[in-house]
Amino acid sequence: MAMTTDRMREQSLGIQWPTLLNPSQWTAAGPLVGELVMRLLISLERARERRQLLSLSDRALQDFGKSRADAESEGYKPFWRA
């Protein structure tokens, strides 16, 4: 069974951290600050993914078994909701 590291997951999602937003830099600042920054970054990434989902055509959604209603249901959630 292959183990996926955070770095591998980030690379597969195309996440490229600007120097200022480098997660390891913030986790070194302390566990509370690091956790807060990581949650913010994850929320922002989730919002970006939802915008992309809304931009897909009906045909593209159908390719992976979802409907426009499914996309809108997920896409219009606030960024802080998982």
pLDDT digits (tens, 9 = 90+) for 46-75: 999 999 999 999 999 999 899 999 999 999
In the numeric block, the tokens 């606030």 are attached to 78
The answer to whether 38 and 26 have CB atoms below 8 angstroms apart is: yes
∠ Cα 50 51 56 (to 5°): 95
How does residue 30 score in pLDDT terms, banded at 50, 70 and 90?
A: confident
pTM of the model: 0.60
Alpha carbons within 13 angstroms on the beta-carbon side of residue 6 total 7
Crossing angle of the two packed helices 31-55 and 68-75, in degrees rounded to 10: 150
Q: Which residue has the higher pLDDT, 12 or 76?
A: 76
pLDDT band at 2 (very low <50, low <70, confident <90, very high): very low
Give me the residue spans of the domains in the chain: 27-82
Q: Taking the alpha carbons of 41, 43, 74, 10 in that order, is the dihedral positive or negative?
A: positive
Residue 34 is predicted with a pLDDT of 77
